[in-house]
Amino acid sequence: MKKNNVTKQTMPYLILLMVILGTLVFYNMGQTKINKINYDKLISELSKDTVESIEVTPKSNAGVYYITGKLEGYGKNEEFRVNVPLSEAVLDKILSYADNNEFEVKTNTNPENSSLVTILVNVVPFVLLIGATFFLFTRISGGNKNSMDFGKSRAKLSEDGGRVRFTDVAGLNEEKEEVAELIDFLKNPKKFQKLGARIPKGVLLVGPPGTGKTLLAKAVAGEANVPFYYISGSDFVELFVGIGASRVRDMFKQAKQSAPCLIFIDEIDAVGRQRGTGLGGGHDEREQTLNQLLTEMDGFGANEGIIIIAATNRPDVLDPALLRPGRFDRQVTVSLPDQKEREAILKVHARDKIFDNDVNLENISKRTPGFSGADLENLLNESALLAVRRNKKAITMDEIDEATDRVLMGPAKTSRKITDKEKKLVSLHEAGHAVIGLKLEDANEVHKITIIPRGMAGGYTMMLPKEEKISIATKSELLASITGLLGGRVSEELYFGEISTGASDDFSRATRIARSMVTEYGMSDLGPVQLEHKSEGVFLGRDYTNNTRNFSDTVALEIDQEVRKIVNDCYKKATKILKDNEKLVKLLSDTLIEKETLTKEEIDELVNTGKLSAKKEETEESVEIKETKEIKEEKIKKTKTKEKKETEK
């Protein structure tokens, strides 16, 4: 397949090379060496009988005879040329030599014949070459007629906005209300102008990836009865300086002709980054594009009736001039959905899927905090793929549970061979996490424990908040999180008699929380002072040389001591809890070795009764065996009936 693609890509160039070489060869073959002589020289050669042939063409407009011919010793592509006065006497004299010397004489009666041949020989090959070059490069560029229109806008116009409507966007009620106001203004501007209100010129949609920013913009396009232009921020930036600015001008020029209208710019951070940043200076092309965008949005010229909607997940890198009032007047934060919004999103993506009766979307929404809309769509899609793979007629909770684990941790590595020692170690480690979650008051609720390897983890304990709330955590909740993370190592040390590398990720997360408590949240003996701040990534030119360490070496030592103190206190607390609940740790560990996975209901049953009730549930294998037996019995029954009928006949 790749070989065929390479051949298709290189073929036009090979054809073009052959055309050029053929034209050059043809042109060189048609070239003739011309030796210019005068009339006396011609008469002298005629007297010597060295002329082999001549061709006479009258040029009445120039008053001369145009004579060409060959002399003895000339090559194949060599001839002489002479102009003689347009006189019958001169022509008769030349023809008399021809009669005596018997050489070939050709007389052209059409004076334009020679010129036409000259044009055909010298001009037509170049015309063909230019035409072939244009045709081939048009094919190479994919037949794009606008391949040379570098400065033209790449924004695409959608008259009807597509098929997405607000009903297709689950949740985001406040966000939909904000953007719906723009549509209302475009439809009925007098309602706003009556009270002197000015509609925002630009709305910036900000939020994590997958929360529905682009989907919300599509819904705006679907609801609006005005032209809707959409473009990506990367479509403005080109290699050549000035192209991006030209495209911005052309986009607004088209928009003015269609006003009132909407323009949607996706991933605007590709072109809207701060100016003058970057090691070694800024990016001239991007900065010129941004300058033109700023001018078009709010400069000397007024763009009445044009509203811009842009989306980004990096508002911190945008230029301040882009975010000021008069340009992007309003920022709409599209955050991760809460439990009710997740349920509504699941209902939207479950429209075309078949679910078993035991599937409850409300329960799924409660078990997926922190999932974005894209994650939830992927969750249901993965569960549908698993159901097809297992030859089921409907999606059950088994597929949804497995899909949840796949989205969070990756596919299960069931083929990997695990030793008994490793299995016991992992089971004790995960049991330690679970017991801390079960016995510590402010810890998260344990929903699932498994020792089946997934991704880089040998097993994991799923712990979810007892009730969903906004992103505010108390000191006791943070300490409980650290204690829960350390529970795995403590359990290994107490009941396995040896420690392993399995707790490295737990230590990393616990240390990060403890350091944030000391340096950001003011939850230590150092007092309510912020010594460090979060940085999601280095923005070259702005953050590279920015010193986030606003403290002395003495304070740095105190920070380290406070972090160590928090972690050590939590470690001691985890040790006490696990020592007091030794039987529960070993019970969970032994059950995990036997069953490998425990659900919330099974964990609660173990905590309350100390054992699992023997439930006679049909496994998939037993159901399959049962179905096979029934099919065989049915076949035997049909065979006997058939034989009986044949016997009666």
By C-alpha distance, which of 185, 144, 547, 37 is closest to 54?
37
177: Cα separation from own chain's centroid:
28
Residue 151, SS3?
coil
Bridge partners (DSSP) of residue 150 are: none
CA-only gyration radius of the chain, Å: 42
Q: Is 303 exposed, middle or buried (0-12, 13-18, 19+ CB in 10 A)?
A: middle
- φ/ψ region of 62 (left if φ > 0, alpha if ψ in -120 to 50, else beta) reads alpha
Q: Which residue has the tokens 């107490």?
A: 494
The one catalytic residue in 45, 430, 562, 596 is 430
The β-bridge relationship of strands 460-464 and 306-312 is unpaired
Q: What is the DSSP letter of 398?
A: H
Q: What sign does the dihedral 470-472-476-478 (CA atoms) show?
A: positive
Gap between the Cα atoms of 608 and 519, Å rounded: 41
- CB-based contact 230:264 (threshold 8 Å): yes
Lookup result for tokens 């989907």: 215
Which residue from 324, 176, 215, 201 is spatially nearest to 262, judged by alpha carbons? 201
Residues 6+ positions from 206 with CB-CB distance below 8 Å: 213, 311, 312, 313, 315, 331, 332, 333, 334
618 exposure class (CB count in 10 Å sphere: 0-12, 13-18, 19+):
exposed
Specify the pairing of strand 306-312 against strand 597-599: unpaired
User: What residues have CB less than 8 Å from 163, skipping those under 6 apart?
Assistant: 222
Amino acid (1-letter code) at residue 121:
V
Distances (CA, A) of 343 to 167, 367, 526, 649: 14, 11, 43, 65
Which long-range contacts (C-beta less than 8 Å, at least 24 apart) are formed by 402-405? 403/379, 404/367, 404/368, 404/379, 405/450, 405/454
**Measured between alpha carbons, how far is 436 from 244 in angstroms, rounded to an integer?**
57
Q: Where are the beta strands (DSSP E) in 334-479?
A: 445-450, 460-464
DSSP one-letter string for 268-281? GGGT-BPTT-STTS
Handedness of CA 443, 447, 449, 454 (dihedral sign): negative
Judge whether 45 counts as a catalytic residue: no
Taking 3-state DSSP, the helix, strand and coil percentages for the chain, each rounded to the nearest 5, stand at 55, 15, 35
**Long-range contacts of 572-579, Cβ-Cβ distance < 8 Å, separation of 24 or more:** 573/483, 574/432, 574/436, 574/483, 574/484, 574/486, 574/487, 574/490, 575/490, 575/494, 577/435, 577/436, 577/439, 577/440, 577/483, 577/487, 578/432, 578/435, 578/436, 578/487, 578/490, 578/491, 578/494, 579/494
Cα distances (Å, whole numbers) of residue 396 to 308, 347, 357, 399: 44, 16, 8, 6
Cβ-proximal residues to 542 (8 Å cutoff; 6+ apart), any chain: 274, 277, 317
Q: Where are the beta strands (DSSP E) in 72-188?
A: 78-85, 104-107, 156-158
Catalytically active residues, by annotation: 430
